[in-house]
Amino acid sequence: MLRLQNIILEMVARGDDLPETARRLCLEVEAIVPDTACSILTVDAAGLLHPLAAPSLPTGYSLALDGLLIGPSVGSCGTAAFLGADVEVRDIRTDPLWSDYRELVDQLEYSACWSTPIRDGKEQVIGTFAFYYQGHRGPTKLERDIVEACVHLCVLAFERRDRVEERERLARIDGLTGLANRNGFNAALDALDCSQPGAWALLAIDLDNLKMVNDTFGHHAGDILLREVAHRMADAAAPDRTFRIGGDEFAIIVQSPAALQDLETMAYGLLDRLSPPVRSLGHSLYPRATIGGAIVSEADPLPHSVRLNADHSLYHAKETGRGGFVRYWRGLGMAITQRLSAIQEVGAAIREGRIKAYYQPVVRLDTAEIVGVEALCRMITPDGKVQTAGEFHEAMSDVDIAQAITDIMLDNVANDVRHWLDEGIAFQHVGVNISSADLHRSIPIHEYLSACFVKANVPLKHLIVEVTEGVYLDDRDDNVGAKIAQMRHHGLKVALDDFGTGFASLTHLLTVPVDIIKIDRSFVAGLKMGSPSAAIVEGLTSIAQKLDIRLLAEGIETESQARHLLTLGCRIGQGFLYSPAVSRSEMSKLLRLYAQGSGACRSIGAFRRHSPAEMSEVQVAGNEL
């Protein structure tokens, strides 16, 4: 007995596999008590039996017991587990406890069975230990002593198994939300069958506004938001499994046929389920998420490749329209690679000082006098080529890049304006475009802009803040209108750029007014008598006058376009008819010649026809405004 105990205790201490420990226990007991067979069964939380070890019993017999529900007449072991007491059956072929299992009994060489329940520290039955006898008998005094010791050893082995499983479970469970964590996700992903295309899909999900909630209301509020989002997500995705990968990242492994058939519907249903506000510490928090999805296919048969595709889709969704869903398509990875390459190239240009401000004049259409300029971003390549912003626009989707570009542009523009003022040039204003990323800076946008110009000792009356239509109508950011109003309240003029390229509505101008509307070049290009473009420009002119908003036409390339705009009531414009975007030095020359008040320019044609010597130094930098 001492040898038996030492062997099993050593196995438990080493952390040996539970089935192997139980098997060794049975074999050691059978060596002490010949002509017997030992059996150890476990009982799960649902009351189902599962074979753990029975080395001397037929394998088919043990397997037949797996999943049996314990009860008052389920053989010796099932009954002992149900009653929580020893059950002694001296003739298993005639005893009523075995009446439902006659076919199983026929497999046995044994005639009797004595079973003892195994209890945990809470007195819950967690298993049974049984002796099978070849003769019609019950247990001896020695056998009772052996079983008493073995039951104790089993409890120790079970408890160690449970502690290991609990540690493993906790290692795979997110403590905040109760969802499976990154470890659990990786294990689940590795276990998926990739041999059948379309058998499963993966949704990668980002909670978009967690950082804002943490920064505004504190991390406790963020935790409340995360727990509620996790609950809603798991509930909406069931029976498919939801995981919290970390921070604001979640994932869902989709296997249910209905969801696989229409992944987009599932994704948008999930977004709808997340959208209602969450109450936290007296505040209403509005969950916002973005989803990317990918499905296992012949072209991407590995879990890693599907996960990478889902991540690519999520990245693309966040860059092109947060709050939506993008499903992976062939070529998306290449597009993202190109975008990352563009980000790297622009990042290098920022570090090496190759981002420059170029300027295009804004003129009065009736006199062609320069009344202002628009600052346009240009990148100088290592070989000296000047690239327009349109040639590296993919990099601008990166928040850090976009904000760094604005920092450089404002610094250059403010210093250039200071230079012009110091030179005594009749300078009026400069338009500078700001991005959505700029509106999400940690300080109010008007304070940021003011600080940039105050540092260069340039009055803010010379600055016009240009906001593109896409940023102006960003319905995913309720604060855009408030920030525009805040800028105007602090004396900044705001221009709505590229008007007409998206879905702008004039009704927005009632709630989010601006000072200037810049008519997109596409309307100017289509100008002719009776054309839809002419009708729109004419109507817009009338409305703008009544709202006290100035109009500025972009992309003017011919004198006929300029004259037509004048007849329609638009008096300010810019375009290649007058000048492309040029460097500060070239803009200085143009301002000295043609700035309003200089008296040098009095006709539309005169501005275009300055001397070849003057124009030879003007470098055309592209067709983007």
Radius of gyration of the chain (CA): 39
> What residue type is assigned to position 576 of the chain?
F
CB-CB contact of 444 with 471 (8 Å): no
Q: Is 373 exposed, middle or buried (0-12, 13-18, 19+ CB in 10 A)?
A: buried
What's the pLDDT score for residue 386? Answer: 94
Give residue 618's pLDDT.
Answer: 36
188 close to 180: Cβ distance less than 8 angstroms:
yes
Work out whether strand 516-519 and strand 550-553 pair parallel, antiparallel, or are unpaired. Answer: parallel
Tokens of 614: 């003057």
Q: How do residues 78-130 score in pLDDT, each as one tens digit?
A: 999 999 999 999 999 999 999 999 888 888 889 999 999 999 988 999 999 99
Strand partners, 180: 173, 243
Per-residue model confidence as pLDDT tens digits over 539-588: 888 888 888 899 999 999 999 999 999 998 999 999 999 999 999 999 99
Q: Residue 470: CB partners within 8 Å, gap ≥ 6? A: 436, 498, 501, 502
Helix (H, G, I), strand (E, B) or coil at 365: coil
Higher pLDDT, 122 or 500: 122
> How many CB atoms neighbour CB 479 within 10 A?
11
Count the helix, strand and coil residues of the chain and give each as a percent rounded to the nearest 5: 45, 20, 30
- What is the reported pLDDT for 10? 92
Residue 590 has pLDDT above 70, yes or no: yes
DSSP letters spanning 187-215: HHHHTS--SSTTS-EEEEEEETTHHHHHH
DSSP string, 453-467: HHHTT--GGGEEEEE
Quote the pLDDT of residue 163. 87
Tokens 């899909």 appear where?
A: 201
- Asked if the model's pLDDT at residue 619 lies above 50, the reply is no
Cα separation, 29 vs 573, in Å, equals: 99
CATH of 340-611, one of 3.20.20.450, 3.40.50.300, 1.10.10.10, 3.40.50.40: 3.20.20.450
pLDDT, tens only, 223-267: 999 999 999 999 999 999 999 998 899 999 999 999 999 999 999
Buried b (16+ CB within 10 A) or exposed e, 227-260: bbbbebbbebbeebbbbbbeebbbbbbbeeeebb
**Percentage of the chain lying above the pLDDT 90 cut:** 58
Closest to 245 in 3D by CA, of 264, 224, 226: 226
What's the burial of 506, exposed, middle or buried (CB within 10 Å: 0-12/13-18/19+)?
middle
How much is the pLDDT for 67? 94
Six-digit token pair at 290? 């973005």
If you search the block for the tokens 């996960």, which residue do you land on? Answer: 307
With tokens 């007991």, the residue in question is 29
CA distance 74 to 81: 9
- Tell me if 182-330 shares its fold with 340-611: no
Residues 6 or more apart from 287 whose CB is under 8 A from it? 207, 209, 225, 228, 229, 232, 274, 275, 278
Q: Which of 330, 321, 363 is nearest to 596 (CA)?
A: 363
- What is 172-184 written as a DSSP string? TB-TTT-SB-HHH
Residue among 572, 556, 497 at smallest CA distance from 523: 556
Determine the Cα–Cα distance for residues 70 and 120; give it in Å rounded to an integer.
17
The β-bridge relationship of strands 572-573 and 550-553 is parallel
- Give the sign of the dihedral formed by CA 177, CA 178, CA 179, CA 183: positive
pLDDT in tens, 447-469: 999 999 999 999 999 999 998 87
Q: At 273, phi and psi to the nearest 5?
A: -65, -30
On the question of pLDDT at 604 being above 50, the answer is no
Q: Based on the number of CB atoms within 10 Å of its own CB, is 452 exposed (0-12), middle (13-18) or buried (19 or more)? A: buried
- For the chain, the structural domain boundaries read 2-171, 182-330, 340-611
Assign 471 a pLDDT band (cuts: 50, 70, 90): confident
Residue in 188, 184, 156 with CA at minimum distance from that of residue 170:
184
Instruction: With 0.85 as the threshold, say if the pTM is over it.
Output: no
Does the structure show a pLDDT above 60 at 269?
A: yes
Contact yes or no for 131/146 (Cβ under 8 A): no
The widest CA-to-CA distance across the chain, in whole angstroms, is: 126
Class of the CATH domain delimited by 182-330:
alpha beta
Which amino acid, residue 281?
L
What is the topology classification, in CATH, of domain 2-171? Answer: Beta-Lactamase (3.30.450)
